[in-house]
Amino acid sequence: MSKVACIGECMVELKQAEGGLFSRGYGGDTLNTAVYLSRLGADADYITALGDDVLSDEMIAGWAAEGVGTERVARLPGKLPGLYMIQTDDKGERRFFHWRDSAAARSLMDLPQTPAILESLGSYDVVYLSAITLSLYGEAGRQRLFAALRRAREAGARFTFDTNFRARGWPDLAVARSVFLQAFEVADIVLASTEDLLPLYPAESNDALLARIPGAEVVLKLSEPASIVRLDGVPYPLKAEPVQAPVVDTTAAGDSFAAAYVAARLAGAGPVEAARAGHRLAGVVVCHPGAIIPRAAMPPASTTSR
């Protein structure tokens, strides 16, 4: 079974319920991807830091129940996980509110166990992280991580970078652009979107956005249900299949796309077919509330990998 390491942050999630109430769960972009990868048959480990509190215990138990590996989760005495709240409008578009400045995950690159965690990346087939992951760490921590990713690639791992961009996580756009450039230069696979890149490079065309990414395997998801897959400089436009039910919540659409894409590539599919798989799973996820849909709502694996 192929092994995937997902690096990032999981937070306590509060999502809208009836009567102005909120229900509690957990989520985070790379954690969502890890869960969907596990459900699609990959051996996915989650790499992060949590506290020693009851909520962190609950997260660990929940990930284990989903089959996500937790051996490389650092536990920090006295720390807590971050918190976010989701509000959705009548079209399913979401708005996030975060409380995470002192969350345990932000310390991951500065711990006594950090060297061992980073050295372990070379034992995976794929290392996956997002721009949100990179926004958690200071400059020194990011450089440690990039150096570890280069070593992991030399050992045979493929680094997959998701451009998931949240402006509030960065001190300014110049820093974000610099970090994105470094990630693009190291990545084997880039999963991008116009939603993420246009705030960084306003008014640029799809071709111009793709030209900023030097890698051989790039997916650019568009504002309409479509994407462009670029392989060795050649673009392949791809339209998504129509969504079969009303869209109620777009949370984790990109995270599930990434999981299905990576899982399909690990199963031997080409990049275009992998992007089709990503669109299929995302089209199911947006028809359910919250980041992680019920297991019973997952489509059969054969329909996301064919």
3-state SS, residue 304: helix
Active site residue 125: no
Cα–Cα distances (Å) from 78 to 7, 27, 102, 185, 233, in that order, read 22, 21, 11, 37, 49
Residue 69 per-residue DSSP state = B
Pairing mode, if any, of strands 3-7 and 43-51?
Answer: parallel
**What is the distance between the alpha carbons of residues 8 and 275, in angstroms, rounded to a whole number?**
23
**What is the distance between the alpha carbons of residues 130 and 133, in angstroms, rounded to a whole number?**
5
Cβ–Cβ under 8 Å, residues 55 and 82:
no
**What is the distance between the alpha carbons of residues 62 and 85, in angstroms, rounded to a whole number?**
19
Query: Which among 103, 82, 112 has a CA at the least distance from the CA of 14?
Result: 82
230 residue type, one letter: R
Q: Any residues with CB less than 8 A from the CB of 202 and at least 6 apart, and which? A: none
3-state SS, residue 16: strand
The catalytic residue positions are 255
